């Protein structure tokens, strides 16, 4: 027996249902362009009288809340716009029932990263729920990982020559390519995930971030995802950067011959937590240092502090890295750290200036004692001695 013929009533009902399904994707329209600025007006009115020391000027107030100027904010929106528009919204709506504009999504994500406040608190300031803040922030992070990665890369030969020239002019260190330092990102973990692997020297659960910066405190290379229980020297040796340098695939530019006749290869500077290598120069340590050693340490410290200041600025600007993270997903935390580093570089690349109170007023790893590594290879010892003599002769 053949299939039953559908009645006219059933056909009409099916037609109505089909039309509803087809139109279901456009029931919640995107906020029109004319409303893009409304999120800022309502946010400003809601938060400018919150008791915080917020600049009276709206332009400076914008930078206070989101760390970037309007121009840089628009640039960040342009990077992620395609991803935030093309992906399914998953119910990302405001209290008026409209889908969130790209600008408002970016603002929510930046505020969450900049303030380190809870998702509930950030949601309240924008008139959205906690789950919306969570979804928006992660969508933003995923997009920035891919779309902004060109803002964190090892310099080409021409740019490296500029960096080396600046280090030599400012600190007297010829062929210096950058400064290295590391910091802990502290977190709380569920009892089922706690282990000695993640418990560091100060009995905190933490994840390491190692960064190498240039003369403008821009990150050139980062390593993260490793437990804070490691030593800084061990973290270095686990990095791809270490392997590249040891195989002469990085810091392999031309060797500079000093007036005294000594050869100086490309190198970076680091504190005593790092090993003294031919491409990583650390300061003299201990008592009874000669005048030339003391003079070298002073120049070395000036260059090395660039990395320390960069990490203080990073954790001060993006307070989510400074506050104790509540049960973060350890698989996602490296992405959050990377995006904060990308944003740090975008601020520098865009020529933005931070408010004086944004960088941390103290050390980026306050509460942690400085580690000491006694490892030194013969090439590193010779390089440091030659640099010390060179600086002494320039006095």
Please identify, among 147, 178, 194, the residue that sits at the C-terminal boundary of a domain. Answer: 147
Instruction: Say whether both 201 and 80 belong to one domain.
Output: no
Low-confidence ranges of the chain (pLDDT < 70): 1-37, 50-53, 87-98, 190-195
- Give residue-wise pLDDT tens across range 89-112: 455 555 445 678 999 999 999 999
Instruction: Say whether both 43 and 155 belong to one domain.
Output: no
pLDDT number for residue 96: 46
Instruction: Say whether both 44 and 103 belong to one domain.
Output: yes
Structural domain harbouring 235: 151-394
Q: Does 61 fall in a domain?
A: yes
Contacts of 14 (CB under 8 A, 6+ apart): 6
Please identify, among 132, 147, 162, the residue that sits at the C-terminal boundary of a domain. Answer: 147
Instruction: Say whether both 95 and 212 belong to one domain.
Output: no
> Which DSSP string do the residues of 287-336 spell out, in sequence order?
SS--HHHHHHHHHHHHHHHHHHHHHHHHHHHSGGGTSPEES--TTTHHHH
Angle at alpha carbon of residue 130, lines to 124 and 131, rounded to 5°: 145
Instruction: Say whether both 238 and 349 belong to one domain.
Output: yes
Q: Does 177 fall in a domain?
A: yes
Q: How many domains does the chain have?
A: 2
pTM surpassing 0.85? Answer: yes
Q: Does 287 fall in a domain?
A: yes
Instruction: Say whether both 300 and 257 belong to one domain.
Output: yes
Which H/E stretch holds residue 180?
strand 176-188
As given in the structure block, the two tokens for residue 60 are 């400076």
- Give residue-wise pLDDT tens across range 144-176: 999 999 999 999 999 999 999 999 999 999 999
Within a 10 A sphere around the Cβ of 314, how many other Cβ atoms? 28
As given in the structure block, the two tokens for residue 165 are 């020239």
- Distance, CA of 53 to CA of 49 (rounded, Å): 9
Q: Go through the chain and tell me how many residues it has.
A: 395
Strand partners, 99: 30, 93
Instruction: Say whether both 124 and 156 belong to one domain.
Output: no
Instruction: Say whether both 180 and 310 belong to one domain.
Output: yes
Instruction: Say whether both 158 and 112 belong to one domain.
Output: no
- What is the sign of the dihedral through the CA atoms of 278, 282, 285 and 291? positive
Instruction: Say whether both 133 and 93 belong to one domain.
Output: yes
- Are 346 and 68 in contact, with CB atoms under 8 Å apart? yes
In 3D, which of 139, 197, 148, 240 has the Cα closest to residue 330?
197
């Amino acid at each position: 027996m053949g299939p039953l013929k559908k009645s006219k009533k059933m056909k009409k009902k099916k037609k109505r249902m089909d039309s509803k399904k087809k139109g279901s994707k456009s029931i919640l329209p995107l906020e029109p362009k004319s409303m893009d600025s409304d999120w800022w007006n309502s946010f400003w009115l809601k938060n400018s009288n919150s008791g915080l020391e917020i600049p009276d000027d709206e332009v400076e107030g914008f930078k206070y809340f989101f760390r970037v100027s309007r121009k840089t904010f628009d640039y960040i929106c342009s990077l992620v716009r395609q991803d935030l528009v093309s992906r399914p919204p998953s119910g990302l709506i405001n209290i008026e029932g409209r889908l969130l504009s790209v600008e408002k999504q970016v603002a929510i994500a930046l505020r969450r990263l900049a303030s380190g406040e809870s998702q509930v608190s950030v949601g309240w300031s924008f008139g959205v729920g906690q789950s919306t803040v969570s979804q928006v922030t992660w969508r933003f992070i995923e997009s920035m990982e891919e779309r902004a990665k060109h803002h964190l890369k090892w310099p080409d030969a021409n740019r490296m020559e500029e960096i080396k020239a600046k280090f030599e002019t400012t600190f007297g260190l010829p062929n210096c390519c950058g400064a290295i330092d590391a910091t802990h990102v502290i977190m709380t973990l569920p009892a089922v995930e706690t282990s000695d692997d993640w418990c560091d020297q100060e009995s905190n659960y933490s994840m390491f971030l190692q960064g190498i910066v240039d003369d403008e405190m821009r990150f050139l290379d980062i390593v993260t995802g490793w437990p804070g229980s490691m030593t800084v020297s061990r973290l270095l040796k686990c990095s791809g950067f270490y392997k590249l340098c040891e195989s002469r695939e990085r810091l392999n530019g031309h060797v500079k011959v000093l007036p005294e006749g000594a050869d100086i290869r490309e190198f970076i500077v680091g504190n005593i937590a790092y090993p003294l290598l031919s491409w990583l120069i650390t300061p003299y340590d201990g008592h009874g240092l000669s005048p030339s050693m003391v003079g070298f340490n002073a120049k070395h410290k000036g260059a090395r502090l660039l990395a320390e200041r960069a990490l203080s600025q990073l954790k001060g600007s993006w307070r989510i890295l400074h506050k104790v993270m509540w049960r973060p997903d350890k698989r996602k935390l490296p992405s959050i750290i990377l995006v904060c580093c990308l944003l740090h570089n975008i601020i520098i690349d865009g020529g933005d200036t931070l408010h004086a109170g944004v960088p941390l007023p103290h050390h980026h790893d306050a509460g942690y004692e400085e580690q000491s590594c006694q490892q030194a290879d013969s090439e590193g010892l010779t390089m440091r001695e030659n640099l010390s003599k060179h600086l002494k002769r320039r006095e």
